[in-house]
Amino acid sequence: MAVLPIITAPDKLLKLKSKPVESVDSEIAKLMDDMLETMYLAPGVGLAAPQIGVTKRIIVVDVGKTEEERAPYRMVNPELVWTSDELSLYEEGCLSLPDHYADVERPERIWVKYIDETNTEQELEANGLLATCIQHEIDHLEGVLFVDHLTSLKRNMILRKLQKVKKMKAAAAE
Ligand code: NI
């Protein structure tokens, strides 16, 4: 397995719409293992392929709190087939927006269809943090970041700060 570099905002690559995967082969399965390793190391609870520069509809999620409780999901072409009217509020973060957090409201329960690492169709009903996390990652496949759910004032403030950090890092690397 390999740890991959994570793209941070603002970046055009994070705004692209990802393409569906035709079939899950060993290359895609390996990519998902690498994404999980990258996510665990970060550490984070979810990662979408565009965050590592691959514009394909692939996400990995694991909301297990400890290494013993790990329960990874590898999802290809995930699709929300149902969402509850009931909403819940979570303070979200994102590995592509390091050190920034904000409350985002999303459906509390979801039903998601996807293809797993063995190229088998799966369905999952999720609630709570897992549901929030899956919705956050599916957003990435549409080029949507959690800050896009905030007011433009809050979003621009966070993106400006991230831009500044990028400039400082680029200057330090020269
Ligand atoms: Ni994210």
- Is 137 marked active-site? yes
The DSSP symbol for 12 reads G
C-alpha pair distances (Å), 127 with each of 82, 107, 142, 165: 12, 9, 21, 35
pLDDT digits (tens, 9 = 90+) for 101-127: 999 999 999 999 999 999 999 999 999
What spacing in Å lies between the alpha carbon of 137 and ligand 1's midpoint?
6
CB 38 within 8 A of CB 126: no
Which residue's structure tokens are 């956050």?
136
What spacing in Å lies between the alpha carbon of 134 and ligand 1's midpoint?
10
For residue 119, count other CB atoms closer than 10 A to its CB: 13
> Which tokens sit at 80?
């929300």
CB 51 within 8 A of CB 7: yes
Please provide the CATH number assigned to the domain covering 12-173. 3.90.45.10
| List 37, 137, 142, 174, catalytic entry | 137
Residue 100 pLDDT more than 80?
yes
What spacing in Å lies between the alpha carbon of 111 and ligand 1's midpoint?
20
| pTM for the predicted model, two decimal places | 0.96
What spacing in Å lies between the alpha carbon of 136 and ligand 1's midpoint?
6
**Phi and psi angles of residue 111, each rounded to the nearest 5 degrees, phi first:** -125, 120
What spacing in Å lies between the alpha carbon of 98 and ligand 1's midpoint?
10
Which residue's structure tokens are 């896009």?
148
pLDDT digits (tens, 9 = 90+) for 56-71: 999 999 999 888 889 9
Residue 156 pLDDT more than 80?
yes
- The predicted pLDDT at position 92 comes to 98
Average pLDDT, rounded, for the chain: 96
